[in-house]
Structure 1
Amino acid sequence: MKLALMMSMLCIASIGVVGCSSKLTQPEEYSGFLKDYSQLKEAKSPSGVEVMRWVDPKLNINQYTSVYIEPTQLYPKPQPTVKIPQSTLSGITSYYDQALNRELSKSLPLATGPGPGVIVVRAAITAVSTKTEGLKPYEVIPIALVAAAVSTASGIRDQETGLATEAVFLDGGTNKIMAQVVRKGTGKPLENDSQVMKSTDVKNVIDGWASDMHQSYLKLKAK
């Protein structure tokens, strides 16, 4: 009876740990980069990922003939650490710029600055993180729980890498907000808590963001 009760409690606890990790950016995680978060709604990106998004219902995307991508910001300004050094932060923003230019230029020529008929893309990296991965369902067996705890304490347990972004799309002539998006993603896991995070660990996340922005434009264009 005691064993059954313990197993039930362990199962409930493990479900709680898994359930706490939301794919959506929560309000308490908003950085302040966007001026207004009140109109954001839960939505699915073209690739099927959950995001928080708002698009002006009166938007006429066909009036825009080029796109200007501002340099990606880090917001709020982070303090580099041994685990996430400045070289990693700079590499992330640099790659975000490259990915946005690569994807968005597939449908629109790149402008050298804002102006009438120009879509201005203003994006920021609002979180860069590493954390020990949560307990997985198969680790509810007591012996595995003990092993997991030992692995975490000794630093050999996988470390999850995370990234978050907030982006606003503006009319280059009027500076009016056309759309906003807030989302996050998980990159490649690090092998242990002493491994330094690199920008390459989250390239897959950034590629997905940039691709979704391009596909969103195509969807709006097709309406």
Structure 2
Amino acid sequence: MKNSHSLALVFAASLSLTACSNKKVAPDMYSGFLNDYSTLKEQQTPSGQTILSWTSPALATSRYTQVYLTPSQFYPQVQPTGRIPQSTLSGVTRYYDAALRQELGKTLPLASGPGPNTLVVRPAITQVATSTQGLRYYEWLPITLVAAGVSTAAGIRDQDSEVATEVSLEDGSTGEVVAKVVRKGTGVPLENDKQVMTADNVKGVLDGWATDLSQSYVVARKASLR
């Protein structure tokens, strides 16, 4: 009886670990920021990450000479909390914009507004949250599961800092959507469920998103020239 109980606990722990390590955005987490999610497919980014995205052939064949970045926004609107204050929310969008400007500016000149031959990039932050980390492999043993359960109940387990984005790339003349991206990431963990999350916790994630977006466009353009 004890063995079967232990196996059940180990199985539950493995499920917890799997669920917490999955970085793909589930359909029930789509925010509604994008006009259509039915065309999204799993794709590999230049950095090797798996995301949901769609690209129209028009993105590669259109001769965009500049890029316009609309200020990132929270969609839907979020309210600050004690653990994620307004300073964090503002810091996230401000840093995301800066990272996108820096990386996209390496690929195309930055424009002051939409227009002919302009690729418009509209980014949204669709989630900023914290969650209790899943059990690590060394916590699967029955004797350590008890301690892990106690630490979770007491709120002293590390907390993941999570952020998600949806990005629409559009033609500056027609407004036609030429690409879409949906992804999420996990930043620097918090020590417990009392620590305040800051923009610093997810800056590495935002940098990675910006780099991948810029490099993905480069890859698409090169493919069209072959």
Q: Aligned partner of 1:215: which letter?
A: Q
The residue number in structure 2 matching 1:8 is 7
Please give the alpha-carbon distance, in whole angstroms, between the structure 1 residues aligned to 2:159 and 2:219: 36
Letter matched to residue 50 of structure 2: E
Residue matched to 1:66: 66
Q: Hey, what's the Cα distance between the residues in 2 that align with 1:128 and 1:149? A: 25
- Equivalents in 1 of 2:165, 2:18: separation in Å? 22
* TM-score, L = length of structure 1: 0.96
Contact 2:170/2:178, CA 8 A, preserved across alignment: yes
Q: CA deviation at 1:154?
A: 2.4
- Aligned-pair identity in percent equals 53
Q: Secondary structure at the match of 1:182?
A: strand
SS in 2 for 1:63: coil
Where does structure 1 differ by over 6 angstroms across 4 or more consecutive aligned residues? none
Matched with 1:151 is: 151
- Which residue is 1:178 aligned to? 178
Q: For structure 2, which runs of at least 5 residues remain unmatched after alignment?
A: none
Structure 1 equivalent of residue 55 of structure 2: 55
User: Equivalent residue of 2:4, what SS?
Assistant: helix
C-alpha displacement of 1:126? 0.1
Counterparts of 1:123 and 1:212 in 2: how far apart (Å)? 14
Give the AA of the match of 2:48: G
The correspondence of residues 100-115 of structure 1 with structure 2, limited to 5 A, is 100-115=100-115
CA distance in 1, matches of 2:189, 2:133: 9
Query: Aligned AA for 1:7?
Result: S
C-alpha offsets along residues 169-193 of structure 1, whole Å, 9 cap, x if unaligned? 0000111101000000000000111
Which residue of 2 is the match for residue 98 of structure 1?
Answer: 98
How far, CA to CA, are the matches of 1:110 and 1:186 in structure 2? 29
Gaps in structure 1 of 5+ consecutive residues: none
**1:201 equivalenced with 2:223 (yes/no):** no
Quick one: which amino acid aligns to residue 178 of structure 2?
M
Distance 2:103 2:60 in 1: 21
1:129-172 Cα offsets, whole Å, 9 max, x none, are 10111122221223311211222222221001100000000000
**Quick check: 1:26 aligned with 2:11?**
no
Structure 1 counterpart of 2:165: 165
Q: In terms of mean alpha carbon deviation, does 42-51 or 181-190 score higher?
A: 42-51
Q: Is the 8 A contact 1:68 1:118 kept in 2?
A: yes
Alpha-carbon distance between aligned partners in 2 of 1:58 and 1:206, rounded to the nearest angstrom: 26
Partners of 1:39 and 1:131 lie apart in 2 by: 29
Bigger CA drift: 144-153 or 119-128?
A: 144-153
For residue 119 of structure 1, report the CA deviation from its aligned partner. Answer: 0.4
Residue 7 of structure 1 contacts residue 140 of structure 1 at CA under 8 Å; is this kept in 2?
no
1:10 CA displacement:
1.8
What secondary structure, in the 3-state scheme, does the structure 1 residue paired with 2:110 have? coil
| Segment drifting more, 152-161 vs 211-220 | 152-161
Amino acid at match of 2:94: S
Partner-residue secondary structure (3-state), 2:59:
coil
CA RMSD after TM alignment:
1.2
Q: 5 Å matches for 1:41-52?
A: 41-52=41-52
Distance between the aligned counterparts of 2:97 and 2:61, measured in 1?
22
Which residue in the other structure is 1:40 paired with? 40
- Residue 61 (structure 1) shift: 4.5
